[in-house]
Amino acid sequence: METNEKTTTNFIKDIIEDDLEKGKNGGQVVTRFPPEPNGYLHIGHAKSICLNFGLAKRYGGRCHLRMDDTNPEKEDVEYTDSIINDVKWLGFDWGEHLYYASDYFEQLYEWAVLLIKKGLAYVSDMTPDEVSATRGGPTWAGQEDPGRKRGVEENLDLFARMRAGDFPDGTKTLRAKIDMAAPNINMRDPVLYRIKHENHHRTGGTWCIYPMYDFAHGQSDYIEGITHSICTLEFEVHRPLYDWFLDQIAEPGRVRPRQIEFARLSLSYTVMSKRKLLELVETKFVRGWDDPRMPTISGLRRRGYTPESIRDFADRIGVAKADNVVDVALLEHCVREDLNRRAPRVIAVLNPLRVVIENYPEGQTEELDAVNNPEDESMGKRKLPFSRELYIEREDFREEAAGKFFRLAPGKEVRFKFAYYLTCTGVVRDDRGEIVEVRCTYDPATRGGWSQDGRKVKGTIHWLSAEHAIPAEVRLYDRLFTAIEPENTKDVEDYRTLLNPDSLKVLDRCLVEQSLKGAKPGTQYQFERLGYFCVDHDSTADRLVFNRTVTLKDSKGKD
Ligand code: ATP
Ligand code: MG
Burial 365-377 (b: 16+ CB within 10 A, else e): eeebebbbbeeee
Q: Report yes or no on 446 lying in a domain.
A: yes
Q: How far apart are CA 393 and CA 31, in angstroms?
A: 52
**Quick count: other Cβ atoms within 10 Å of Cβ 165?**
13
3-state DSSP assignment of residue 112 = helix
Q: How far apart are CA 410 and CA 434, in angstroms?
A: 16
Residues 146, 227 within the same domain? yes
Catalytic positions, please? Answer: 36, 264, 274
Alpha carbon nearest to ligand 1 atom 26, residue = 44
For the CA of 49, the nearest ligand: 1
Instruction: State the distance from the centre of ligand 1 to the C-alpha of 274, rounded, in angstroms.
Output: 9
Q: Report yes or no on 5 lying in a domain.
A: no
Residues 338, 366 within the same domain? no
pLDDT computed for residue 242 by the predictor: 97
Q: Report yes or no on 501 lying in a domain.
A: yes
Residues 374, 327 within the same domain? no
What are the start-end ranges of the H helices in 182-320? 213-224, 239-249, 274-282, 297-303, 307-317
CATH number for the domain including 398?
2.40.240.10
Task: List the one residue out of 216, 230, 307 whose CA is nearest residue 63.
Answer: 230
**End residue of a domain, out of 462, 493, 523:** 462
Dihedral sign computed on CA atoms, order 56, 57, 58, 59: positive
CB 3 within 8 A of CB 10: no
The 3 state secondary structure assigned to 84-103 is: HHHHHHCCCCCCCCEEEHHH
Residues 487, 526 within the same domain? yes
Query: Total domain count for the chain?
Result: 3
CB 73 within 8 A of CB 275: no
**Quick count: other Cβ atoms within 10 Å of Cβ 448?**
12
Q: Report yes or no on 42 lying in a domain.
A: yes
Q: How far apart are CA 167 and CA 187, in angstroms?
A: 26
The terminus-to-terminus CA distance of the chain in angstroms comes to 30
Enclosing domain of residue 283: 274-342+473-550
pLDDT computed for residue 200 by the predictor: 95
CB 58 within 8 A of CB 14: no
Q: Report yes or no on 72 lying in a domain.
A: yes
Burial 463-489 (b: 16+ CB within 10 A, else e): bbbbebbbebbbbbbbbbbbbbbbeee
Residues 354, 416 within the same domain? yes
3-state DSSP assignment of residue 399 = coil
Q: How far is CA 320 from CA 11, 232, 299, in A?
A: 8, 10, 26
For the CA of 37, the nearest ligand: 1
Q: How far apart are CA 293 and CA 482, in angstroms?
A: 13
**End residue of a domain, out of 462, 483, 515:** 462
Consecutive 10-residue averages of pLDDT for the chain (559 residues): 53 96 95 96 98 97 97 87 98 98 98 98 94 93 97 98 97 97 97 96 96 97 98 96 97 95 96 96 97 98 98 95 93 98 97 98 97 94 97 96 90 97 97 96 96 93 97 98 91 90 97 96 97 97 95 64
> Considering the entire predicted model, what is its pTM?
0.94
Residues 6+ apart with CB under 8 A from 531: 548, 549, 550, 551, 552
CB 379 within 8 A of CB 386: no
CATH number for the domain including 92?
3.40.50.620
Residues 408, 456 within the same domain? yes
pLDDT computed for residue 2 by the predictor: 38
Q: How far apart are CA 359 and CA 417, in angstroms?
A: 19
CB 277 within 8 A of CB 294: yes
Q: How far apart are CA 419 and CA 448, in angstroms?
A: 5
The pairing of strands 191-195 and 173-176 is antiparallel
Residues 181, 213 within the same domain? yes
**End residue of a domain, out of 462, 481, 507:** 462
Residues 132, 240 within the same domain? yes
Q: How far apart are CA 255 and CA 251, in angstroms?
A: 9
Residues 153, 252 within the same domain? yes
Q: Which atom of ligand 1 is nearest to the CA of 37?
A: 10
Q: Which residues pair with 511 in a beta bridge?
A: 349, 471
Instruction: State the distance from the centre of ligand 1 to the C-alpha of 303, rounded, in angstroms.
Output: 22
Q: Report yes or no on 268 lying in a domain.
A: no
Instruction: State the distance from the centre of ligand 1 to the C-alpha of 275, rounded, in angstroms.
Output: 12
pLDDT computed for residue 491 by the predictor: 81
pLDDT computed for residue 507 by the predictor: 98
Residues 130, 187 within the same domain? yes
Mutate to test the pocket of ligand 1, among 48, 262, 280, 313 (most ligand atoms within 8 A of CB): 48
Instruction: State the distance from the centre of ligand 1 to the C-alpha of 311, rounded, in angstroms.
Output: 17
Task: List the one residue out of 368, 352, 459 whose CA is nearest residue 415.
Answer: 459
Q: Report yes or no on 430 lying in a domain.
A: yes
Q: Report yes or no on 267 lying in a domain.
A: no
DSSP string, 307-348: HHHHHHHHHHH---SS-EEEPHHHHHHHHHHHHHHHPPEE-E
Q: How far apart are CA 375 and CA 368, in angstroms?
A: 20
Q: Which residues pair with 348 in a beta bridge?
A: 512
Residues 315, 369 within the same domain? no
CATH number for the domain including 498?
1.10.1160.10
Residues 379, 328 within the same domain? no
* Ligand 1 neighbours by CB, cut-off 6 Å: 34-36, 44-45, 47-48, 231-232, 264-265, 272-275
